[in-house]
Amino acid sequence: MQDFRQSFVQASQLIAELDPTLVEIVLLSLRVSLSATAIACLIGMPLGALLATREFPGKWLVTVVLNTLMGMPPVVLGLLFYMMLSASGPFGWMELLYTPGAMIAVQIFLILPIVTALTKQIVEISWTEYQPLLGSLSVGKWAAAKTLLWDTRGSLLTAALAGFARAISEVGAVIVVGGNINHLTRVMTTAIALETSKGELALALALGMILLLIALSVNALVFSTRQRVML
């Protein structure tokens, strides 16, 4: 109990003093996960809208695969990316392994199914309502998808949030392709794992507290924004 209290006090001090190591890790984590979320949203939201509004043979199979990929274990995806990005892999020439770029790439693929599948579900509900109107107005399929994305933007924030939450909290994929290198690829989750294994609970706890604070802040921001755009 004494250790816990001491660790908690030290963690609070690290946060209050804006410890340089702590700040560096937090900023890299945000850079990697926000970049991955933004790119996944740019790809996954239009894709989800098109899946919701278009009928084609095998659509059910695409939906099942997409839903399955939502549960992809990060460490497995990390392994696949490791094999592709390693020197002997097909993308070894890009020299991305053990860089933040590799971490962003793996997180994009980790959260892309989540963003796409959630977007599809959200847009499908509005499509049922809008289809007669947009059909009557002779709005084309692409324009219809764009309209639906804009009109469901409040709900789509939740899809983006789910993607970000998955990215910022996962450890398996980024540790495999990033390598947890100090001052280069060390992010909050990999640092927590490392510091805990070393018995350095203060830094681990401080990072854990910041992770929770970020999750809380992002949720609050999304909630307040959603209230404004839902009507």
CA 104 – CA 29 distance, rounded (Å) = 10
For residue 138, the minimal CB distance to other proteins (Å) is 5
> Is there a contact between 128 and 144 (Cβ–Cβ < 8 Å)?
no
| 3-class state of residue 58 by DSSP | coil
For residue 135, the minimal CB distance to other proteins (Å) is 6
Among 19, 24, 124, 151, binds other proteins (CB under 8 A): 151
DSSP state of 94: G
From the list 49-57, 63-71, 115-123, 146-154, the region that binds other proteins by CB under 8 A is 146-154
From the list 22-30, 136-144, 181-189, 203-211, the region that binds other proteins by CB under 8 A is 136-144
For residue 155, the minimal CB distance to other proteins (Å) is 10
Q: Indicate the angle between helix axes 20-53 and 188-198, nearest 10 degrees.
A: 130
147 binds other proteins (CB under 8 A): yes
225 binds other proteins (CB under 8 A): no
For residue 125, the minimal CB distance to other proteins (Å) is 12
Among 99, 130, 164, 207, binds other proteins (CB under 8 A): 130
Q: Which residue's CB is nearer to other proteins, number 143 or number 184?
A: 143
Q: Indicate the angle between helix axes 141-151 and 153-169, nearest 10 degrees.
A: 80
129 binds other proteins (CB under 8 A): yes
98, two tokens: 């053990």
- How many Å separate Cα 33 from the centre of its chain? 6
16 binds other proteins (CB under 8 A): no
For residue 133, the minimal CB distance to other proteins (Å) is 4
230 binds other proteins (CB under 8 A): yes
45, two tokens: 């939201």
Residues 6+ apart with CB under 8 A from 205: 7, 8, 10, 11
81 binds other proteins (CB under 8 A): no
124 binds other proteins (CB under 8 A): no
Residues 6+ apart with CB under 8 A from 204: 191, 192, 195, 196
Number of neighbouring beta carbons within 10 Å of residue 146: 14
Tell me which residues touch other proteins (CB under 8 A): 129-130, 132-133, 135-139, 143, 147, 150-152, 154, 229-231
